């Protein structure tokens, strides 16, 4: 019995212990503790109390809760995946700690005092899903063999959302939200769809990689694979994009299309596929721009945001976001000392602007650097993957983080129309946090040498 116990938990006490991960978890722990202490100090100065007293210990419950959840996830990974990548969980944990701190900071000013607690709960739930994903994917064959099923499930969820929307208008967006039960619990099916499509693309492309790379069929100056090999990919991509014609969110379409392009290029190693696909996407976007007045209005808002009539009406959110970035300067106004709550949707779509006001340009660069490290580790996993399916899946999951970050930051900075894509781990929202931690779990499993 003792030998069996040692065999099960030998990774904890032996050489297989994840020491690098343990020490890197100091980063999110330190950020939570220092950030919470700063918020408590600012609130203490703003109220007529004895400023010489230290905050009570129970005020640090959110920090202790997140630290305990991360440590618990770390110990479980030591048991079920001791040789997996040791940097992904600390990176996700640090980004999540930023999201919790921003929710704690913005909640009271938005008349949502429990906002930070809710975000913390979603992070803990996400970590539980992350560990469950690592455990459930010890054998990836059951995921690869049901690639069409996963794609159908994701598309069906979004389809049900559109059916339940009860309305369709070319002048306004639909909400990609599906409500469950009488309690009003809701989630975004698109968060599940992106994972399902990555699984489908990875499975199909890995099986047909040689045919896609050979491109023996000629169509004018283009060399294409047989239609029977390329057709299912185009059909699945078309269905996904057509669904989002109903939702009318450019960011979701860019995300799905970007996942498809990145994985197709890695599978085929043919740049011409990328060039032709981008041309077709641009043509389709132009046609939709002409069809939907809402799309034209969103582009016009970005182009004329500083017009006084627009800035005080439809462009108010964009202008206030830019003012928040400008107010932050290089090093920010300080956590709890700015007014980021003035920006509409400061805890969701414009959380980057809220963070930029209080942490400055340096803070935004630091967050961007964390995402770059996460993308780097994801691509490192792809390069060292054991087979084609693992490689393509790692590329797709990593590209999702990169595209989401670029799209939402571009929207906050008035480079492109604002979209409904959340900033991973930082923006408030349960479905986004949980889905992103599921992706982290898949990446951890894919990084294991014997997967």
Helix (H, G, I), strand (E, B) or coil at 396: helix
Contact 241, 197 (CB under 8 A): no
pLDDT digits (tens, 9 = 90+) for 202-238: 998 888 877 776 666 666 666 666 666 667 767 766 7
Using CA atoms, how far apart are residues 361 and 329, in angstroms rounded to an integer?
6
User: Quick one: 365 exposed, middle or buried, by C-beta within 10 A (0-12, 13-18, 19+)?
Assistant: middle
List % helix, strand, coil for the chain (3-state, nearest 5). 70, 5, 25
Q: Which two tokens stand for residue 435?
A: 């889905």
Using CA atoms, how far apart are residues 159 and 148, in angstroms rounded to an integer?
16
User: Quick one: 275 exposed, middle or buried, by C-beta within 10 A (0-12, 13-18, 19+)?
Assistant: exposed
Looking at the DSSP bridge assignments, the partners of residue 217 are: 224
Q: Residue 214, CB half-sphere, CA atoms under 13 Å: how many? A: 9
What are the strands, taking DSSP E only, across 11-141?
A: none
Q: Which helix (H) or strand (E) holds 409?
A: helix 388-412
pLDDT digits (tens, 9 = 90+) for 53-68: 666 667 788 899 999 9
Q: State the pLDDT at residue 121.
A: 94
Length in residues, the chain: 451
Q: State the pLDDT at residue 48.
A: 53
Q: State the pLDDT at residue 318.
A: 86
* Model pTM above 0.85: yes
| 266 Cα distance to chain centroid | 21
What DSSP letter does each residue of 175-225 carry, written as one string?
Answer: P--EEETTTTEEE-HHHHHHHHHHHHHHHHHHHTHHHHHH--EEETTEEE-
In 3D space, the residue among 59, 74, 60 whose CA is nearest the CA of residue 24 turns out to be 74
Looking at the DSSP bridge assignments, the partners of residue 218 are: 223
Q: Which helix (H) or strand (E) holds 80?
A: helix 61-80
- Name the packing angle between helices 189-207 and 250-268 (round to 10°): 20
Please identify every stretch of the chain with a pLDDT value under 50, giving residue numbers as ranges: 1-15, 166-174
| 444 φ/ψ angles, rounded to the nearest 5 degrees | -60, -45
Helix (H, G, I), strand (E, B) or coil at 51: coil
């Amino acid at each position: 019995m003792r030998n069996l116990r040692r065999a099960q938990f030998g990774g904890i006490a032996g050489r297989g212990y994840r020491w690098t991960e343990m020490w890197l978890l100091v980063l999110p722990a330190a950020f939570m503790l220092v950030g919470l202490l700063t918020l408590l100090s600012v609130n203490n100065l703003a109220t007529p109390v004895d400023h010489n007293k230290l905050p009570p210990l129970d005020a640090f419950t959110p920090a202790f809760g997140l630290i305990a959840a991360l440590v618990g996830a770390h110990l479980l990974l030591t048991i079920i995946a001791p040789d997996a990548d040791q940097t992904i969980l600390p990176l996700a944990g640090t980004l999540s700690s930023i999201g919790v701190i921003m929710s704690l900071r913005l909640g009271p000013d938005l008349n949502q005092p429990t906002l930070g607690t809710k975000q913390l709960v979603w992070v803990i739930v996400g970590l539980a899903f992350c560990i469950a994903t690592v455990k459930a994917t010890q054998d990836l064959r059951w995921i690869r063999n049901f690639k069409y099923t996963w794609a159908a499930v994701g598309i069906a969820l979004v389809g049900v959302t559109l059916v339940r929307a009860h309305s369709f208008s070319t002048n306004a967006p639909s909400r990609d939200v599906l409500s469950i039960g009488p309690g009003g619990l809701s989630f975004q099916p698109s968060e599940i769809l992106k994972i399902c499509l990555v699984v489908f693309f990875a499975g199909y492309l890995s099986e047909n990689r040689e045919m896609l790379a050979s491109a023996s069929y000629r169509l004018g100056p283009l060399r294409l694979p047989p239609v029977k090999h390329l057709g299912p990919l185009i059909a699945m991509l078309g269905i996904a994009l057509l669904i989002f014609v109903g939702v009318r969110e450019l960011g979701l379409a860019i995300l799905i299309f970007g996942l498809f392009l990145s994985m197709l290029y890695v599978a085929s190693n043919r740049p011409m596929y990328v060039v032709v696909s981008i041309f077709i996407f641009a043509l389709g976007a132009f046609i939709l721009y002409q069809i939907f007045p809402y799309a034209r209005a969103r582009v016009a808002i970005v182009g004329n945001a500083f017009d006084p009539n627009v800035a005080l009406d439809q462009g108010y959110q964009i202008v206030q976001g830019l003012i928040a970035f400008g107010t932050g300067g290089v090093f920010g106004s300080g956590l709890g000392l700015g007014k980021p709550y003035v920006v509409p949707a400061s805890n969701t779509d414009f959380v980057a602007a809220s963070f930029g006001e209080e942490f400055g340009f340096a803070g935004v660069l630091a967050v961007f650097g964390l995402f770059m490290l996460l993308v780097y580790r994801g691509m490192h996993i792809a390069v060292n993957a054991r087979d084609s399916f693992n490689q393509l899946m790692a590329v797709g999951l990593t590209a999702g983080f990169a595209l989401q970050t670029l799209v939402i930051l571009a929207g906050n900075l008035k480079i492109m129309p604002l979209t409904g894509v959340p900033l991973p781990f930082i923006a408030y929202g349960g479905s986004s946090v949980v889905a992103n931690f599921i992706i982290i779990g898949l990446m951890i499993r894919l990084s294991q040498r014997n997967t």
